[in-house]
Amino acid sequence: RWAGSNRTRLPRIVDLIDDSKWDSNSDRGYKTSAAFLIFLIDRYGVTRLKQVYYASSAECARRFQEVYGTSLEALEVEWQRAI
């Protein structure tokens, strides 16, 4: 719900996985991340998420491609359409 009502102000997921761009005080960033993770669990199950959850920023995009069979950017578009 929160993500849908704040759609135009959501940070990009690719920015949230980049440790150098993360603002640890960002309430919006935390809520966006949580909404995206809930989407992934609801749509694809928790097992896949566990396979990418601890990936470093440098390997995250590659891990999403391997585990989900599509790019992180494509998953973000799918999530945006769903909210």
What is the distance between the alpha carbons of residues 60 and 14, in angstroms, rounded to a whole number?
Answer: 9
What is the distance between the alpha carbons of residues 70 and 68, in angstroms, rounded to a whole number?
Answer: 5
Q: What is the mean pLDDT of each run of 10 residues along the chain (83 residues)?
A: 81 83 74 93 97 90 96 95 91
Q: In the prediction, which pLDDT does 22 show?
A: 66
Q: In the prediction, which pLDDT does 68 show?
A: 97
Cβ neighbors of 16 (< 8 A, separation 6 or more) are 22, 29, 32, 33, 36
Q: In the prediction, which pLDDT does 24 show?
A: 59
Q: In the prediction, which pLDDT does 25 show?
A: 60
Q: Which two tokens stand for residue 78?
A: 């799918």
